Chains A and B, each alone.
Chain A
Amino acid sequence: MRSIRLEPLFSMAEMELRRLRHDPFEIITRAVQPILWVAVFGSVMAKIRAFPSVGDYVSFITPGVILQSSTFISLAYGIALIFERESGILKKLLTSPIPRSYVVVGRALAGSVRASTQYVIVLASAAVLGAKIISNPLNLITGYLVLVLACMGFTGLSILIASLLRTRERFMGIIGAITMPLFFASNALYPIEVMPDVIKYVSLANPLTYTVSALRKLLVSNSYDILQETLILTCFTVLAIGAAVKNLRRIIE
Chain B
Amino acid sequence: MKAIEVRDLVKVYGHEVRALDGVSLDVEGSTVHALLGPNGAGKTTLIRVITTQLKPNSGYARVFGYDVTKESSEVRSLIGYVPQEVSLWSDLSGYENMLMYSKIYGIPREIRRRRIEELLDFIGLSEASGRLVRTYSGGMIRRLEIAIALMRNPRLLILDEPTIGLDPGARSLVWDKISEFRRENGVTVFFATHYMDEADKYADYVTLLNQGRVVSHGTPNELKRHVEGNKVLITLKNNTDSSRLSEVLSSVPGVAISSFDNNCLELVISDVPTRLPAILEKIFVSGYSVSEVKIREATLDEVFIKLTGRRISDESGRMKEVVSVRKMIRRGG
Chain A residues with CB under 8 Å of chain B are: 5, 7-8, 10-12, 14-15, 18-19, 22-23, 83, 86-89, 91-99, 252-253
Contact = CB atoms under 8 A, between A and B. Distances in A.
A167 to B, nearest CB: 14
Contacts of B89: 15, 19, 89
B257 interface: no
Interface residues of B, number: 34
B71 to A, nearest CB: 12
Contacts of B333: 83, 86-87
B232 interface: no
Given A7-B103, A22-B92, A92 B87 contact: yes
By secondary structure, the A interface counts as helix
A183 B106 CA distance: 40
Contacts of B48: 91
Given A83-B333, A89-B89, A92-B83, 16 more contacts: A12-B100, A15-B92, A18-B92, A86-B85, A87-B85, A87-B328, A88-B83, A88-B84, A88-B85, A91-B53, A91-B81, A91-B83, A94-B53, A95-B76, A97-B73, A252-B54
A89 B88 contact: yes
A14 B103 contact: yes
B265 interface: no
Q: Which of B81, B85, B88 has the most CB of A within 10 A?
A: B85
Contacts of B84: 88
A251 to B, nearest CB: 11
B286 to A, nearest CB: 61
Contacts of A23: 91
A96 B328 contact: no
B52 A95 contact: yes
B333 to A, nearest CB: 5
Given A14-B103, A15-B100, A86-B328, A96 B76 contact: yes
14 contacts: A11-B100, A15-B89, A18-B92, A18-B100, A19-B89, A86-B333, A88-B85, A91-B53, A92-B101, A95-B79, A95-B81, A96-B104, A97-B77, A97-B152
B191 to A, nearest CB: 15
A11 B53 contact: no
B236 interface: no
Contacts of B54: 252-253
B132 interface: yes
Given A14-B100, A15-B100, A22-B91, A97 B105 contact: yes
A31 B233 CA distance: 75
A125 to B, nearest CB: 26
Complex A-B, nearest 9 residue pairs according to Cβ-Cβ distance, in ascending order? A88-B87, A88-B83, A11-B103, A88-B85, A92-B87, A91-B83, A95-B51, A97-B77, A8-B104
B26 interface: no
Contacts of B204: none
A98 B76 CA distance: 9
B104 A98 contact: yes
A19 B53 contact: no
A51 B54 CA distance: 56
Nearest to A103: B104
A41 B101 CA distance: 45
Contacts of B21: none
B2 to A, nearest CB: 20
Contacts of B87: 87-89, 91-92
A86 B90 CA distance: 13
A70 to B, nearest CB: 21
B96 interface: yes
Contacts of B100: 11-12, 14-15, 18
Contacts of A98: 104-106
Given A18-B92, A19-B91, A22-B91, A93 B104 contact: yes
Nearest to B90: A87
B173 interface: no
